Amino acid sequence: MLAGATNPMGRYCAFNKSTVEYKGDYEWDFDGMTYQSEHSMMFGLAIVQLLFWFIQCYCCCLPLIYTPVKDDAHTAKKEHKKYEKEIKKQQ
């Protein structure tokens, strides 16, 4: 949606103040939305979409990033290094 509202054609259509609703039989609804107001609505919805994307990617995933993971191989390596340091100290 953001790409549609900010691309060159979307910007060009944003300057158009004509109505977008056609009733039929060569009649237009002049009290309805215009291309300019639709562009404003699309741009506003794109900002809301970006806000929700930010919340989803950064706020919802933070607990997943900070969740501790039990890694037996890593703890075994740490213990082995600690054991090697103690042996070197004793010599």
Q: What is the pLDDT of residues 50-90, one digit of tens each?
A: 999 888 888 877 777 777 777 777 788 888 888 888 888 88
Phi, psi (rounded to 5 degrees) for 29: -95, 100
Q: Name the more confident of 9 and 2.
A: 9
Rounded to a whole number of angstroms, the CA Rg of the chain reads 30
How many domains are contained in the chain?
A: 1
- Residue ranges making up the domain that contains 26: 2-90
Q: Kindly report the average pLDDT of the chain as a whole number.
A: 82
Nearest residue to 46 (alpha-carbon basis) of 91, 77, 1: 1
Rounded mean pLDDT, 24-42: 83
Nearest residue to 5 (alpha-carbon basis) of 38, 50, 54: 38
Q: How many CB atoms lie within 10 A of CB 54?
A: 10
